[in-house]
Chain A
Amino acid sequence: MLSSQIKSNEIVFGSCNKDLLEKIISYGIGLGADFIEIFIENTDNSSVLAEEDFITSVNPSFGRGAGIRIFKEKKDGFVSTNDLTKHGLMRSVSQAVEMLDITDNKKRDVFNGLNKHRDYSLSKKKWINEVPSIHEISEKLLVSTKSLKKNNKIITRKGSYSRNLQEVIIASSDGTYASDIRLHQTVGLNVIASDAQYRSSGSRRFGSSGMPNEFRLWDHEKAANDVFESSMNMLYADYVDAGQMPVVLANKFGGVIFHEACGHLLETTQIERGTTPFENKLNEKIAHESVTAIDEGISEGHFGSLSVDDEGMEPEKSVLIKDGILKKFISDRAGELRTGHKRTGSGRRQNYSFAAASRMRNTYIAKGEYSKEDLINSISDGLYCKSMGGGSVGATGQFNFAVEEGYLIKNGKLTNPVKGATLIGEAKEVMPKISMCGNDLELAPGFCGSISGSVNVTVGQPHIKVDSITVGGR
Chain B
Amino acid sequence: MNSREITTQISEAADSLNLRKWDYGASFSNDYSVQVDKGEAKQLKASQKQILTIRVWNQSNLVGITTTSNISESGIKKALRQANIASDFGNKNESTEFSPLAKDPIKLKEVKKRSPVGIKKLLTLLREAEMKLIESHESIKSVPYNGLSESFFERVYANSDGAFRSFSKSQAALYLYARAEEKNNKPRSSGSVKLGYGVDDIDIESCIKEASNKTISHLNYSSIKTDKYLICFSPESFLTIINAFSSMFNARSILDGVSLSNKNSIGEQLSTKALNIYDDGLHEKNISSSPFDGEGTPTKRICLINRGRIENFIHSESTARIFKTIPTGHAGLGSKVSVSPDWIVVEKSEENIDLKTSLDHSTYEGEFVYIEELNAIHAGVRASQGSFSLPFDGWLYKNGKKISIESATVAGDIKYLLKNIVNIESSQEVTTSGISPHIWVDELSITGDA
Partner-B contacts on A (CB < 8 A): 1-3, 5, 48-49, 51, 54-65, 74-83, 92, 95-96, 98-101, 134-135, 138, 155-156, 192, 199-201, 239, 242-244, 272-275, 353, 355, 389-392, 394-396, 398, 400-402, 419-422, 424-426, 470-474
Q: Which of A58, A92, A401, A474 is in CB contact (< 8 Å) with B89? A: A58
- When distances are taken between beta carbons in the complex, the residues of chain B under 8 Å from A1 are 2, 28, 30, 50, 154
Which of A51, A74, A75, A275 lies in contact with B44, CB distance below 8 A? A75
Whether B144 sits at the interface, judged by CB under 8 Å, is yes
Near A by CB (< 8 A), chain B positions 59-90 give 64-72, 78-79, 82-83, 85-86, 89-90
Number of A-B contacts (CB under 8 A): 229
Q: Which of B10-18, B269-277, B304-312, B406-414 contacts A (4 or more CB under 8 A)?
A: B406-414
A59 touches B70 (CB 8 A): no
> With A62-B82, A400-B376 as given contacts, are A470 and B411 in contact (CB-CB < 8 Å)?
no
Name the residue of chain B whose CB is nearest to the CB of A79.
Answer: B46
Is B376 within 8 A of A82, CB to CB? no
For B47, the chain A residues whose CB sits under 8 A away are: 79-81, 353
Q: Does B94 contact A (CB under 8 A)?
A: yes
A447 to chain B, nearest CB (A): 11
- Report if A199-B42 is in contact (Cβ < 8 Å); known contacts: A242-B226, A398-B407: no
What are 30 A-B contacts defined by CB distance under 8 Å? Answer: A51-B256, A54-B91, A54-B93, A56-B91, A56-B93, A57-B334, A57-B335, A58-B64, A58-B86, A61-B67, A61-B68, A62-B68, A76-B43, A77-B46, A79-B46, A82-B71, A96-B44, A134-B89, A192-B257, A201-B385, A273-B144, A274-B141, A274-B142, A394-B391, A419-B387, A424-B407, A470-B447, A470-B448, A472-B389, A473-B411
In which size bucket is the chain B interface? 35 or more
| A100–B407 CB distance below 8 A | no
- Interface contacts beyond A57-B334, A92-B46, A422-B389: sample of 11 additional A-B pairs, CB < 8 Å, sorted by A: A3-B71, A54-B92, A57-B91, A61-B67, A75-B43, A79-B47, A96-B44, A201-B384, A272-B37, A274-B144, A421-B389
Please encode chain B, from 218 to 230, with 1 for each CB lying within 8 Å of some chain A CB and 0 for all others.
Answer: 0000000010000
With a 10 A CB-CB cut-off, give which of A2, A200, A201, A472 has the most chain B CB atoms. Answer: A472
User: Does any Cβ of A come within 8 Å of B348's Cβ?
Assistant: no
CB of A82 within 8 A of CB of B69, answer yes
Residues of A near B154 (CB, < 8 A) are: 1
- Cα-based distance from A391 to B177 in the complex (angstroms): 20
Residues in A whose Cβ lies below 8 Å from that of B177: 395
Chain B residues whose CB sits within 8 angstroms of the CB of A471 once the complex forms: 447
Report the separation of the CA atoms of residues A77 and B43 in the bound assembly, to the nearest whole angstrom.
Answer: 6
- Cβ-closest chain A residue relative to B48: A81
Q: Output the residue of A96, A101, A396 with the most chain B CB within 10 A.
A: A396
What chain B residues lie within 8 Å of A239 (beta carbons)? 411
Q: How close is B32's CB to chain A, nearest CB, in angstroms? A: 8
Nearest-neighbour CB distance to chain B for A442, whole angstroms, equals 22
Shortest Cβ distance from A95 into chain B, in angstroms? Answer: 6
Q: Is B258 in contact with A156, judged by CB distance below 8 angstroms?
A: yes
Residues of the B chain whose Cβ atoms lie less than 8 Å from the Cβ of A78? 43-46
Known: A1-B28, A3-B72. Is A392-B189 also a contact (CB below 8 A)? Answer: no
CB distance from B192 to the nearest CB of A (A): 13
In the complex, B330 has a CB within 8 A of chain A: no
Query: Is B291 engaged at the interface, CB distance under 8 Å to the other chain?
Result: no
B1 at the interface (CB under 8 A from A): yes
In the bound complex, CA of A120 to CA of B257 (Å): 45
Residues on A with C-beta less than 8 A from B28 are: 1, 3
Q: A55-B89, A63-B68, A63-B69 are in contact. Are A75 and B49 (CB under 8 A)?
A: no
* A128-B111 Cα distance, complex, nearest whole Å: 46
Task: Given A54-B91, A275-B144, A402-B379, decide whether A2 and B1 contact each other with a Cβ distance below 8 A.
Answer: yes
Q: Known: A80-B49, A275-B144, A420-B387. Contact between A63 and B70, CB under 8 A?
A: yes
Enumerate chain B residues within 8 angstroms of A59, measured Cβ to Cβ: 65-67, 86, 334-335
Q: Which residues of B contact A77 (CB under 8 A)?
A: 43-46
Whether a CB of chain A sits under 8 angstroms from the CB of B361 is: no
Option from B44, B89, B187, B226 in Cβ contact (under 8 Å) with A396? B187
Does chain A have a CB within 8 A of B445?
Answer: yes
- Min CB distance, A245 to chain B, in Å? 11
B37 to chain A, nearest CB (A): 7
Instruction: State how many angstroms separate the Cβ of A258 from the closest Cβ of chain B.
Output: 16
The answer to whether B89 and A424 touch across the interface, beta carbons within 8 angstroms, is: no
Contact across chains for B385 and A82 when beta carbons are under 8 A apart: no
Task: Say whether B389 contacts A402, CB under 8 Å.
Answer: yes
Inter-chain contact B385/A473, CB cutoff 8 Å:
no
Pick the residue among B41, B44, B179, B256 that contacts A156 (CB under 8 A).
Answer: B256
In the complex, residue of chain B having the shortest beta-carbon distance to the beta carbon of A101: B120
CB of A49 to closest CB in B, whole Å: 6
Contact: A422 with B78, CB < 8 Å? no
Cβ-closest chain A residue relative to B227: A242
Bound state CA distance, A59 and B332, in angstroms? Answer: 14
B-side contacts of A200, CB under 8 Å: 385
Whether A470 pairs with B449 at a CB distance below 8 angstroms is yes
Contact among B2, B40, B145, B385 for A395, CB-based, below 8 A: B145
B149 to chain A, nearest CB (A): 13
Report yes or no: A391 in contact with B376, Cβ–Cβ below 8 A.
yes
A265 to B227, CA, bound (A): 32
Q: Which residues between 248 and 296 of chain B lie within 8 Å of chain A, taking CB atoms? A: 256-258
- Pick from B86, B336, B384: contact of A199, CB under 8 Å: B384
Residue of B nearest to A83 (CB): B48
Residues in chain B near residue A48, CB distance under 8 A: 89
Selected from B50, B66, B90, B391, the residue in CB contact (under 8 A) with A400 is: B391
User: Of all chain A residues, which has the CB nearest B93?
Assistant: A54
Answer whether A395 and B179 are a contact pair too, CB < 8 Å, given A61-B67, A422-B409: yes
Contact between chains at A473 and B407 (CB < 8 Å): no
The answer to whether A422 touches B380 (Cβ under 8 A) is: yes
Q: Does B4 lie at the interface of the complex (its beta carbon under 8 Å from any beta carbon of A)?
A: no
B382 contacts chain A at the CB level, 8 A cutoff: yes
CB contacts (< 8 Å) of B112 on chain A: these are none
Cα-based distance from A24 to B200 in the complex (angstroms): 35
Least CB distance, A446 to chain B, in whole angstroms: 13
Q: Is B302 an interface residue (CB 8 A)?
A: no
Q: Answer whether residue B119 sits at the interface, using C-beta atoms and an 8 A cutoff.
A: yes
Which residues of A are found within 8 Å of B145, using beta-carbon distances?
273, 395
